[in-house]
Amino acid sequence: MPRASLSRETVVGLALRVVDEEGPAALTLSAVAARAGVATPSLYKHVRNLAELRELLSAHVMGEISARIGDAVLGRSGDEALHALMTAWRSYVRTHPGRYAAMIQSPQPGLAEAGERLLDVMFAALRSYGLTDSESVHAVRCLRSAVHGFVLLEAAGAFGLPESLDDTYELLTRMITAGLHAPRP
């Protein structure tokens, strides 16, 4: 086996640096190849095509988020766990806005596993609320929607007014936690 200077993982790592430093729109095979010091077609030895690279990158990012929020939730329960989860999620996106924006949302086969892990962490964080399975599904969806919407808009710079975004996020957190104490009407 010859020159193994590159690997699938290295390529994904370089792709992450591209989106971190130049934004999601800059993610091209050319850009990654340039960073790898390699001709563009050489990348096809490691990833099937650009679409697969995007998928691998998305799975990686989902994995990082799961790990972060999983850590944050450890040893906590109830509102405290929820608060920690939401804070950790937002904090990750603030650190890597391009990375988060580059993440694919539509259901791809390669993302199923990473997506499930992320859901698992969220379900676990809600466990102490004592919800039924079905209530938990609705609760996780609401949590995910609210956090995803907020961090996406924040990362895009879509909140123009001068009011504190920390305060807004506090309010959002309270809306979610309060809503979880009475998930049915």
In the complex with DNA, the residue whose CB is nearer, 31 or 121, is: 31
* Size of interface with DNA, in residues (CB under 7 A): 21
Considering only residues 105-164, where is the footprint of DNA by CB under 7 A? none
Answer yes or no whether residue 130 interacts with its own copies by CB under 8 A.
Answer: no
In the complex with its own copies, the residue whose CB is nearer, 15 or 89, is: 89
Considering only residues 14-73, where is the footprint of DNA by CB under 7 A? 28-31, 38-42, 44-46, 49-51
Answer yes or no whether residue 49 interacts with its own copies by CB under 8 A.
Answer: no
* C-alpha separations of 15 from 39, 55, 83, 173 in Å: 15, 11, 31, 32
**Which of DNA, its own copies, none binds 163 (CB below 5-8 Å, type-dependent)?**
its own copies
Answer yes or no whether residue 104 interacts with DNA by CB under 7 A.
Answer: no
Place of tokens 């975004």: 165
C-alpha span between 81 and 102 (Å, rounded):
27
How far from the centroid of its chain's Cα atoms is residue 98's Cα? 11
C-alpha span between 5 and 167 (Å, rounded):
47
Report the nearest approach of its own copies to the CB of residue 147 (Å).
Answer: 7
Among 11, 32, 43, 139, binds its own copies (CB under 8 A): 139
C-alpha span between 79 and 51 (Å, rounded):
39
Place of tokens 């996020």: 169
Structure tokens at 58: 């998305």
Burial class of 50 by CB neighbour count within 10 A (0 to 12, 13 to 18, 19+): middle
Answer yes or no whether residue 30 interacts with its own copies by CB under 8 A.
Answer: no
Report the nearest approach of DNA to the CB of residue 97 (Å).
Answer: 21
Positions that interact with DNA (CB under 7 A): 1-6, 28-31, 38-42, 44-46, 49-51
